Structure 1
Amino acid sequence: MQIGKGKQWGEASKKALAERGQTPNLKKGTPAAQRSPKSGPFETNRNALIWTIRSPEGATYTFRNLNLWLRENADVLPGTVDQARAGFGQIKRSRLGKTKRPVGSWKGWTLVCWEKPDEQ
């Protein structure tokens, strides 16, 4: 039975692995996954939720896949796409009770609701 940290990679081994780069499977699989409707940046992504958000002006938007909507509608956001994603994520975590302080909005935008889509 081995106790402790176990085998450590030597510098030569780390360098050899880095020089090899991606395996043939990864070279094919990564682009395929990015194009796939189930795993790529599409409304049909298997992890995409249905979101309803409200702008400071009162306009309500309902869509599936927050990341996709933010990228396509970056011009209406008061910050960057990454800031908006983090802001809505923080509101969601707050509603789930996972933050120390309640968060109700991001730069005037509010999260009305989110839900898992009915899978067919």
Structure 2
Amino acid sequence: LIHLIISLQKCDLPHKIRHSPKAGRFETNIHVKKWRLTCEDGAFWEFTNLYNFVRNYPELFNPSNVKWKRQGGKRGTGGEYCNVTAGLLNVDSGKTKSWKGWHISTIEPA
């Protein structure tokens, strides 16, 4: 009986994670950072959660660069990414100075 209860709790876990404000696709996710994204013409956006921003404003980017993929094998144990998020994170880490004319930097808390 205890094994059955534990199994049922495990089955519901992915649903709870996806809908948790601390672990799901929300600006309150515990891993989010505050970002400043600047395009070639000088327009900029400040936001929290890069992945959420790209999901909410895909029209800012070339549609072929906003196709979401999963990493981590068949079970989908890794995270999601697209060319936009991967490219911008390379800029933030210092691997490149810009991505297709876009610049991004983290905003440190005051």
TM-score (norm 2): 0.72
Percent identity between matched residues is 26
- Deviations along 1:50-103, one digit per CA (max 9) or x if unpaired, are 010101221110000000000111111132250110001111121xxxx4xxx1
Counterpart selection for 2:106 from 114, 117, 120: 114
Q: Match for residue 30 of structure 2? A: 46
| 2:36–2:107 CA contact under 8 A, matched in 1 | no
Larger Rg belongs to: 1
Structure 1 CA distance for aligned equivalents of residues 9 and 108 of structure 2: 32
User: Structure 1: any 5+ residue segments left out of the alignment?
Assistant: 1-22
CA RMSD of aligned residues (A): 1.7
How many residues align structurally? 88
Structure 2 CA distance for aligned equivalents of residues 66 and 27 of structure 1: 29
User: Structure 2: any 5+ residue segments left out of the alignment?
Assistant: 1-6, 68-81
Structure 1 segments (4+ residues) deviating >2 Å: 23-26, 115-118
Which letter maps to 2:86? A
Q: Match for residue 87 of structure 1? A: 87
TM-score (norm 1): 0.66
Q: List aligned pairs for 1:7-46, cutoff 5 A.
A: 23-46=7-30
| 1:49–1:117 CA contact under 8 A, matched in 2 | no
